[in-house]
Structure 1
Amino acid sequence: MASLGVRAQQPGAGENPVRMGKAAVAGPRRAALGELTNFNVAAVNTKRGASKSKPPAALKTKQPEAQPPQLEVQAVPEVPEHPQQLDVSMKEESELCQAFSEVLLTVEDVDQQDSDLPQHCSHYVKDIYKYLHELEQQQAVRPHYMQGYEITGRMRALLVDWLVQVHSRFQLLPETLYLTVAVLDRFLQVQPVSRRKLQLAGVTAMLVACKFEEMYAPESDVERHTLAKYLMELTLLDYDMVHLRPSEIAAAALCLSQLLLEGLPWSPTQQHYSTYDEAHLRPIMQRIAKNVVQINDGKTKFTAVKTKYSSSKLMKIALIPQLISPIIRSMAAAVDQTHRD
């Protein structure tokens, strides 16, 4: 028991007596302090070996703690009293982009309702149509370009009549048919072909046109639009109209269509966007009327277009009574009178 009491009074192997603790705290022997300060630990240890009684001078002076890097604070620009001044340039740019705004135009902005639909390109439609008009001038078809050719205008009409049937058989888009005839005429006026290869040239033109066919049809009045398409397709057979621009024929067909169905004149808005007035379109309308009278009177055997537009799918638009009205006949008679003069 006595031995157990002696052992209880002695410090354990893992315990430190009070006097040992004081001596340990007094000595600069903790490595952790050296890691936290900026002084050279190796130099201090060398000096301590030379003079143990005198602490090194480095320990007398408290080293400054390492300062964290300072963040650069940028000056905040002053906010003007009127914030809308910042948007002046953006507003000016936006106003310039509105090519068809009511401020710049004196006619109705027909593209305003499409401003939220980027696929309609309403902000660039002015430049697009300007470019298309330039292409019409650059790629125009010469009148009577087949003079001296082995093929004639009648052979061309026979080919186009057959292409209309092929177009209907494969249910192609209307734009494909017009582009087919356009490619055909532009090819033939620079490269004459023989009778034997004329049909091959027509099929090839349709194949090329199919590469560019449109998949989005414009929205308009159904009856007026269908009648205009019928009147335009009749012009594909007319050799005397090959030199006219496609935009001229389209505008004249629409003008005649709305005149026959609704008695409406060519409006200032239509004149602005088509770039043609009614006086310019009237001779073309008269020529279209003559084509209608010839096919209704049985003076031509090329009837594929009329047969196509006599179907219920196309509203039997070729059979409407307006196409045998006095308006059509008077316009057709004006063409013959012009030729006699």
Structure 2
Amino acid sequence: MQAQRYADAGVDVRRGYKAVELMKKHVASTMIDGVRSNLGGFSGLFELNLEDTPHPVLVCGTDGVGTKLKIAFALNRHDSVGIDCVAMCVNDVICCGAKPRLFLDYIALGLLAPLKVEQIVKGVSKGCLQSGCALIGGETAEMPGFYQRGEYDLAGFCVAVAEKERIFDPSTIKSGDCLLALPSSGVHSNGFSLIRQVFDLDRDPSLLFHWYEELGCTLGEELLTPTRIYVSQVLELAEKISIKGASHITGGGFYENIPRMLPSGLGAAINAESIKKKPIFSLIQNTGLIPDEDMYATFNMGVGMVLVINREDAERALSLIPDSWVLGEVTDTAKVVIA
């Protein structure tokens, strides 16, 4: 029976039922061995097969998409931000060598629009497929008066499993080790508050539809490019060579994230000329007259993930990940220098 008074207050549970029906096919596409529950229950169940993991360690991560969502609102395009949500979580847990297994999402909206929710979950499912984990549950909350109609927030939670003996060990990092860069797909999901200010998008979102020759697309299309997921590349590389540490370059850019994987007393020397900087970063910098240091402290600048490996393994790593490159090296000076 429909709760009419609840519907009059702005929450119509029938919209929630419709959204669940629409998203079922996308969630089903992510099912992997071990899933023991169906969509619609009060929890997600997963049976771990640990035959190849004698000393399992659970690794968890949670994150959201941030104000990149405002770009999705302005363009009324919602099928890719779910990939960002998954990427921000799985790219974090992969930094210790863990394999993502489970994912749950949380979507809060001012008005639950079933077709919009389906598109969001479609993106989440794509991200789960790319990272090899199952979308085993989530929550969709209709919150009128808290979020404006047409707006929503999106967050996720990931559970991964690592073999204790194979977790990346930053204590083995030493001066002279190689920093290997894996390219980003673009801005990813950080720095959008600054981007919106630089282009004055909150006042005039029409610029999102402007075509830029250097981008080969509109500004909006470029900014909505989904975050690259590094799970398969990092795990496959870890099978071939020793990865000592990994850093997901997110908010805080190079100066904050690279030191997080380094032992106390060590730093990094970055060869700025080696960075395969995408045109979007030059456009942001030139439009906003942003100093280099602020750019490297805010954006990934074309580097989505940095791995620390032995220098003698560099050539093999480059052959295994052809679009990677040597970014620099670890130093015995406890700071990040970009020159």
- TM-score if structure 2 supplies the norm length? 0.24
Structure whose alpha-carbon radius of gyration is higher: 1
Return the structure number with greater strand share: 2
- TM-score if structure 1 supplies the norm length? 0.24
